[in-house]
Structure 1
Amino acid sequence: MTLEKFLLDHGLRISVDDTKGRCLIANRVFTPGELIISQEPYSSVLDIDSERRRCDNCFNLSSNVKRCSACKSVRYCCSSCQVHAWKQQHKSECQMLVKLIEEKQRTPPPSLRLVVRLVIKRSLQQSGVLSTKADDNFETVEALPTHYSETQEERLVSYAQMANLVKTIVDPVEVDLKEVCQLFCRIACNAHTICDEEFRPVGTGLYPVISIINHSCAPNTVLLFNGKRGIVRALQKIEKGTEVTVSYVELAGSTKTRQLALKEQYYFVCQCKRCRKMETEEGIIEDAILEGYKCPVQQCNGAVPSGRDQPGSQCVTCGSGCDNKKLKRSESAANKLLEEANLAMRSRDDGQARLLFEKTEAIQKEIFHVHSVHLMRTRDALMKVCMSLNDWQSALRYCLLTLPAYERAYSVNSPLVGLQYFSLGKLHWLLGNSREAVTALTRAKGILSVTHGSGSSLVRELTGTLQEATLEAAYRSQIPGGPEPMSLDITDRFKHHRSLKR
C-alpha cells in the first residue's frame, strides 16, 4: 500500500503548496474529537528523567521496570514488551551498547540514541529483517525537510561530530556521514516531544506521517500520545478540503515570541490567521496583554507593549504613558527571584520555592496585566507547590487566578484549559465544595473528552471524580448542612486522588 492510499483510507490527502511545501488536507468532514490519524514513531527514545520509571518499549509508567540483563541501559515493564523490543531492534542495539560498556564508554545521550535507533531500523528494514508499511518505512523519513542549507554552521559542526559517534556505535552497519548529519537536521525540525496525558515530557519520537501536518497558532487539531503512539484529534469541525493544522510551539505568548520560536527551530514565518492579526488593533492589544505591562491607570484594563527601548510607552487602550525603564527593572528583579524559585523546586525545597514564587508574584502583579502569561505561569507554579505542601486552600486560590489567563492565552477548547479545570474540580472536591467541583469537572470533561477521547484513562478518572462529586452535591441539596455521604477527610480524599499533584 502506498502512503497516498493509506491517507485516503483515513480521509486525508497530501497537497503541495508553493510556500508551505506538503500539506495534509481533509478529504471528508471531521467532527470535534474525531481521530484524524495515529502513528507509532519510526524512532523514539525516553528522556533521562523518564528512563528509570518508564518502559522503553511502550513508554508507560511502571513501578516495576526491569533492566535488560545484558546492556543494563534500557528497562521494560513486562516480558512481552522486552520480547517485542528485542525482535524489533534492541537485539542489534544491545550488542552495540554492551561493546560501549566493555570499552568503558558511557551510554549515548537520548539525542544520539534516537539517531542510532533510526539507523539500525533502516538497516534492518533494508535487509528484510523488519517489514515495512505505508506509514513505517525510511522513505517517509527521507521525504521530511532537512533545512540543511539554512542550519547554522556551528550547529552543523556539532551534528557532524555526533554523526561520527553514530558511525562508531553502529559499526559494522555502514553509514554515510553526510546522510547521518542530515538525519540530525531532520530530527531537529520534525521530531515531536512525547508527553503523558497531562503534557509532561517523557521522550522524543520521529513521526514522519504526522510531521506532514503543518503548524498554525490557531490549530484545528491537537497531538497527544498514548504511550509513545502519536494521536491527532480534531478540536473543531473540519470541513472537506480544509488543511489539517497542529501547533509546533507554546501558544501562550505574543506573536513575536511565537514567530521567533518557529523561525529558530523550524525556519519559517507563520502566516496563520492569528499571526496575520499582529499589525491590527486586535492583534496589538492581544500581544500587549499577554506579554506587556498593565496600564498605569487603575480604571483602564489595557496594557502597554513591552520590548521597546524608549524610556516611555503608551497603553494600547487609553493612550496613558508609563516609565518603561522602571518597569523593566522590576521585571528583572522578578526574573531573578523566579530563577531562584525554580532552583529550589528542582532541589525539592518546596517551602523555599513557595516563598520565592510568592515574592515573584507580588512584583509581577504590580507590573503585568492580570492576563499576562508571566503572571499566569508563576501562579501555576504556586498552585503546584502548594499542592506539594498539602495547602489545598491556597492551591485552589491560585488555580482560580490562572483560569482567565489560560482561557485568554490558549483557545477555550485547548486541552491545557481542560486540565486546569480538572485541577480546579479536584481541589474543590478535596475541600468539600461539591457543587463547585461538579461545575468545574463538567467543564473539564467537555473539553478533555474531545482532546483525549472519551475512552482515555484521564477522562475515565475525571468521570469517576465527577460522579462522586455529583452524588455529594445531590445529597447536600436534600439535607442542607448535613454530614458528608462519605466519611472522608481531606487526607483520605487525597489518597483516592493522588494524581492531583501533576
Structure 2
Amino acid sequence: MMAPMLERFVSPGKGNGLRAAGRIRKGELVISAEPLACCVSNRLAKEVCHHCFTRHESLLRCSQCKMARYCNTTCQKQAWSGHKRECKCLQSLLPRLPTDSVRLAAKLIFALLSPSKSSSEELYTLEEHESHLTSMPEQKKQGLSQLASMLELYLQQEAPDLLQEMGSALPPSCREPLSLIAKVTCNCFTISDGELQEIGVGLYPSLSLLNHDCRPNCVMVFEGTKLELRAVRDIDPEDELTISYIETLSLTEDRQRQLEEQYHFTCHCQRCDSRDKDGLMLSGEEGKWRLLKEALPRLEGLKAESNWETLLESCSHLLSSVGGEVPEENLYKLRITDMALDASVHLGRWEEAMSYGVTTLPAYRQYYPDPHPVHGIQLMRVGKLQHYLENIEDALDTFRQAYEIVKFTHGEDHPLTTELTMKMKECHSEMDHHSSSRH
C-alpha cells in the first residue's frame, strides 16, 4: 500500500512528518489506506452500515448487541470476525453505550491481538504515536481517565485475561488504557461520506505522520472506509506533505485555539503568521455583524435539534436585518447563510435553498483558492438545486465548476465524480431536447 511517492523524515520544529520522494502533480493520488481499526459514530449507528459505511434507510440489526447494523447478510458475515469480540463487550454494557473513542480503542486492541493485517509495513507504528499526556491540562487528562476506566469496564466481560494478553502482545506504551485512549483521541481521523458529513472514526497509522497546515498541499477524501490522500498543488521532491486537521474556514485565533486544545501545538503556518483572510472574514459594519456572531450559538442549538422552521425564520430575519452593510464574505454572514441553505433544503423549500446557495459561492471561491472538497460539494449542492428547478444552463455551469475541483480532490474514478459527470450529461441532453423542441 505504501507508494514510493513519500517518505518519513523529521520536520524542523514539528517532529515526524512525511515528504515527497519525487515530484507529485496536482490531483495525483499520493496514497490510499484502509484503517487499522474504525467504527461508525454512535450518533449515526442506525443509519450507516457498520461494515462498509454506506448510508441506508433500513439496515439489519445484530440480534445480540442490538447496536451494529448492516446493509445485508453479506456485510454482516464479512464484519463478523471483527465484530465478534466487540459484540460481547457491547452486550455486557447494555443498555449503556460506550463513547466512540472507547469503541475505537477497543477495536484497535482487537486488531493488534489478531495481527492478520500486515501492520509491519506501516511507516509509523502505534508505539511511536504521541499521547501528549505530559503536556495536557489536568481537566482534559481527567476526562481521558474517565474514558480509560470505561474502556477497562467495557473490555473486562469479553476477556478477563485480555489485559494480561495485552501485556505481552502490545508495545509497552499501549498497554496502559489511559495512554492508549490519549493516542486514539489525538490520532484518529474523522471518516466522512460523499457530502462530507461525519459518519465515523478510524485509525490510519502511517497517515498520522502528516503534519497540519491551514493551507495544506494535500486533502483527504473517503470512499467507504478507504482513505485517499490527493495533492491539491504541484509538490516538489522533498517538500513536506500537509493536510488540515480542522475545518479551515475560521479566524486565525479560532483555528489556533482549536489546534492547541485538540492537538497540542501552536500553528505557525503562513496563513496563521500573516493572519491571511482575517480582514475579509470580519469585513462590513462591525455593529451589524456582531449581532450575527452573537446569534450563532442559539442557531447552532436549533440546528442540533433539527428545528428547521425556527432556524430558517431566525436566519432569514437576521440576514435581512443586516442587509448590504455586511458583505457576503463576512464569516458570520456566510455561516448563517449556510444554515439557511440547510434549513431550506430540509423543509423542501427549493427556491429559497437555491438563492441562499448561490449567495455563498463567491465567498467559497475566495476562501478556498486551492481545489477543496468543501468548495466542490457546495457547488454540487447548488447545481442540483438549479437542475431540479430547471435552470439548466446555470446548473451546467455550476456542475462544470464543481468538476474542475472534484477531479483534483476526489479523482476521476470516485463515485462522486461519476455522479457529477452524469449530472452534466443530463443537463446537455435536456438542453438539446429543449432546443430541438423549439424548432
Same fold (TM over 0.5): yes
Give the corresponding residue for 1:377: 335
The one of 21, 32, 38 equivalent to 2:32 is 38
Residue 147 in 1 paired to residue 132 in 2?
A: yes
Unaligned runs of 5+ residues in structure 2 are 168-173
Q: Is the 8 A contact 1:47 1:110 kept in 2?
A: yes
1:355 aligns with 2:313: yes
Report the equivalent of 1:133.
119
Instruction: Confirm or deny: 8 A CA contact 2:364 2:375 kept in the other structure.
Output: yes
Q: CA offsets, 1:170-208, max 9 Å, x none?
A: 222015797221122212221111111111011111111
2:372 maps to what in 1?
A: 414
**Corresponding position of 2:154:** 169
Q: Secondary structure at the match of 1:270?
A: coil
State the shift of 1:356 in Å.
0.7
1:64-91 deviation per Cα after TM superposition (whole angstroms, max 9, x unaligned): 421222222211222232222222x322
- Aligned-partner Cα distance in 1 for 2:370–2:408: 12
Alignment partner of 1:448 is 2:406 = yes
**2:53 is the alignment partner of 1:59:** yes
Letter in structure 1 aligned against 2:105: V
Contact 1:193/1:205 (CA < 8 Å) preserved in 2? yes
Q: Work out whether residues 144 and 181 of structure 2, in 8 Å CA contact, stay in contact via their aligned partners in 1.
A: yes
**Aligned counterpart in structure 2 of residue 100 of structure 1, from 77, 90, 93:** 93
State whether residues 251 and 278 of structure 2, in contact with CA within 8 Å, keep that contact through their aligned partners in structure 1: yes
Match of 1:401 in 2: 359
Q: In the alignment, which residue of structure 2 is the partner of 1:495?
A: none
Aligned residue-pair number: 427
Aligned to 2:170: none
Please identify the structure whose Cα radius of gyration is greater: 1
Q: Which string of whole-angstrom CA distances, capped at 9 and with x for unpartnered residues, describes residues 431-478 of structure 1? A: 222222211111111111211121222111111111111223344456
Quick check: 1:289 aligned with 2:283?
no
Q: Which amino acid in the other structure matches residue 62 of structure 1?
A: H
What residue is the counterpart of 2:211 in the other structure?
214
Unaligned runs of 5+ in 1: 1-5, 297-323, 484-502
Quote the offset at 1:153 in angstroms: 1.2
Partner residue, 2:186:
189
Which protein, 1 or 2, shows the higher relative CO under an 8 Å CA cutoff with sep ≥ 6? 2
Aligned to 1:117: 107
- Which amino acid is the alignment partner of residue 246 of structure 1? I
Structure 1 residue 333: Cα displacement? 4.2
Q: Which residue of 1 aligns with 2:16?
A: 22
Distance (whole Å) between structure 1 residues aligned to residue 42 and residue 322 of structure 2? 33
Mapped to 1, the partners of 2:87 and 2:128 lie a distance apart of 29
- Kindly state the Cα deviation for residue 249 of structure 1 after the two structures are TM-superposed: 1.1
- Note if contact 1:235-1:451 (Cα within 8 Å) is conserved in structure 2: yes
TM-score, normalization by structure 1: 0.79
Give deviations 1:104-156, integer Å, cap 9, x for gaps. Answer: x523122211112122222233xxxx34333569x712211111111111221
SS at match of 1:210: helix
Deviation for aligned residue 1:293: 4.2
- Deviation of residue 50 (structure 1)? 1.4
Deviations 1:200-257 (A, max 9, x none): 0111111111111111111111111111121111112222221111111111122222
Secondary structure, counterpart of 2:79 in structure 1: helix
Question: Cα–Cα, structure 1 residues 81 and 263, in superposed 2: closer, same or farther, change >3 Å?
Answer: same
Contact 1:337 1:357 in 2 (8 A): no
Distance 1:268 1:233, change over 3 A: same
Residue 4 of structure 2 aligns to which amino acid in structure 1?
A: H
